[in-house]
């Protein structure tokens, strides 16, 4: 085992043991906790990554930002697909659903130069909080797309407003949320990933001010700079998203 692993694991165990001491945890409680952990074994492949993402993914994103000077990153979540369709100015949706949302901005470097050729992935839920490619026969060309950025770095894409949704909560991950007195809802959000030659891959989300659950996201992913108050343009909301990428 590497020295780094040893140091990190030692510090985690130290914190756990301190919490056990602090709360006078009993044998009865300890055995109940071990019994609860055994439930994970029954659906480990699904539940362990779900719980880890729920508790720690946003933290790892924050730590990443210690070493970046560009835009604020945020968790990727489980619904990104490489196979998103290439789009020009519109993400395919079921047109009858959801308020219109325009997402526009610029992709640039730390000096303000546009990054031509960057690949901007955008994905979000439908008006029911479902993701294409993950719910029944919901085709993957809806509610997601890959936009190739042109010479000015600027882009504008039309889509529809996403909705809040519950993370899977019928297993131990949901039970854990219940133990903590928390609900399984995420606020409405849009996911982004930007890739460009010579730059660090960048992943983030945008949230909407005043929306349900924005103050109590079950995965604790909301960060103040990522909460937007879109302007209204005609019938549409306009989400301004600039992406400033760090060099690789």
Contact indicator for 120, 149 with CB cutoff of 8 Å: yes
Q: Closer CB to Fe ion, residue 50 or residue 115?
A: 50
* Total of residues contacting Fe ion (CB under 5 A): 1
User: Could you tell me where the beta strands, DSSP code E, fall in the chain?
Assistant: 86-87, 100-109, 119-124, 144-148, 154-160, 165-166, 185-186, 189-195, 202-208, 227-228, 231-233, 236-240, 243-245
Q: Where does this chain touch Fe ion (CB under 5 A) — which range of 19-27, 69-77, 111-119, 217-225?
A: 69-77
For the four alpha carbons of 129, 133, 134 and 135, in that order, the dihedral sign comes to positive
Q: Least CB distance from residue 224 to Fe ion, whole Å?
A: 19
* Beta carbon of residue 77, minimum distance to Fe ion (angstroms, whole number): 4
Rounded to the nearest 10°, the torsion over CA 238, 198, 62, 39 is: 100
**The residue to which tokens 């010579």 are assigned:** 198
Tell me the window of 12-20, 34-42, 75-83, 98-106 that interacts with Fe ion (CB under 5 A).
75-83
* Minimal CB distance residue for Fe ion: 77
What is the per-residue binding string for Fe ion in 87-106, x denoting contact by CB under 5 A?
Answer: --------------------
Stretch that binds Fe ion, among 31-39, 56-64, 70-78, 97-105 (CB under 5 A): 70-78
Which part of the chain contacts Fe ion (CB under 5 A), choosing from 11-19, 42-50, 57-65, 72-80? 72-80
3-state secondary structure of 157: strand
Is the CB of 115 or the CB of 173 nearer to Fe ion? Answer: 173
Q: How far apart are the first and last CA of the chain?
A: 29
Shortest Å, Cβ 76 to Fe ion: 9
- Shortest distance, CB of residue 225 to Fe ion, whole angstroms? 18
Nearer to Fe ion, 77 or 172 (CB): 77
* 141, burial (CB in 10 Å: exposed 0-12, middle 13-18, buried 19+): middle
Task: Yes or no: say if 175 and 224 are a contact pair by the CB < 8 Å rule.
Answer: no
Q: Which is nearer to Fe ion, 126 or 246 (CB)?
A: 126
Instruction: Check binding of 77 to Fe ion (CB under 5 A).
Output: yes
Q: Report the nearest approach of Fe ion to the CB of residue 162 (Å).
A: 8
Alpha-helical (H) ranges within the chain are: 3-22, 27-42, 44-52, 58-65, 172-179
Contact set for Fe ion, span 145-164 (CB under 5 A):
none
Q: Residue 151 has what DSSP assignment?
A: T
Least separation in angstroms between residue 75's CB and Fe ion is 9
CB of 92 to Fe ion, least distance (A): 18
Crossing angle for the helix pair 44-52 and 27-42, to the nearest 10 degrees: 120
User: By the criterion CB under 5 A, which residues form the site for Fe ion?
Assistant: 77
């Amino acid at each position: 085992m590497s020295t780094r692993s040893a140091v990190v694991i030692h510090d985690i165990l130290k914190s756990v043991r301190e919490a056990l001491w602090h709360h006078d945890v009993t044998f009865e409680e300890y055995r109940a906790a071990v019994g609860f952990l055994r439930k994970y074994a029954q659906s480990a492949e699904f539940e362990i990554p779900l719980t880890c993402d729920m508790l720690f993914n946003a933290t790892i994103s924050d730590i990443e930002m210690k070493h970046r000077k560009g835009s604020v990153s945020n968790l990727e979540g489980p619904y990104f697909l490489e196979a998103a369709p290439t789009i020009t100015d519109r993400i395919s949706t079921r047109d009858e659903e959801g308020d219109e949302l325009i997402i526009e901005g610029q992709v640039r470097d730390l000096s303000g130069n546009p990054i031509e050729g960057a690949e901007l992935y955008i994905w979000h839920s439908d008006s029911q909080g479902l993701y294409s490619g993950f719910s029944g026969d919901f085709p993957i060309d809806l509610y997601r797309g890959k936009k190739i950025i042109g010479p000015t770095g600027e882009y504008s894409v039309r889509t529809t407003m996403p909705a809040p949704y519950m993370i899977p909560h019928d297993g131990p991950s949901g039970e854990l949320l219940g133990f903590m007195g928390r609900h399984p809802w995420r606020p409405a959000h849009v996911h982004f990933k930007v890739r460009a030659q010579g730059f660090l891959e960048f992943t983030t989300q945008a949230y909407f001010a005043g929306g349900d659950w924005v103050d109590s996201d079950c995965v604790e992913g909301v960060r103040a700079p990522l909460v937007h108050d879109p302007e209204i343009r005609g019938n549409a909301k306009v989400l301004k998203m600039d992406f400033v990428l760090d060099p690789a």
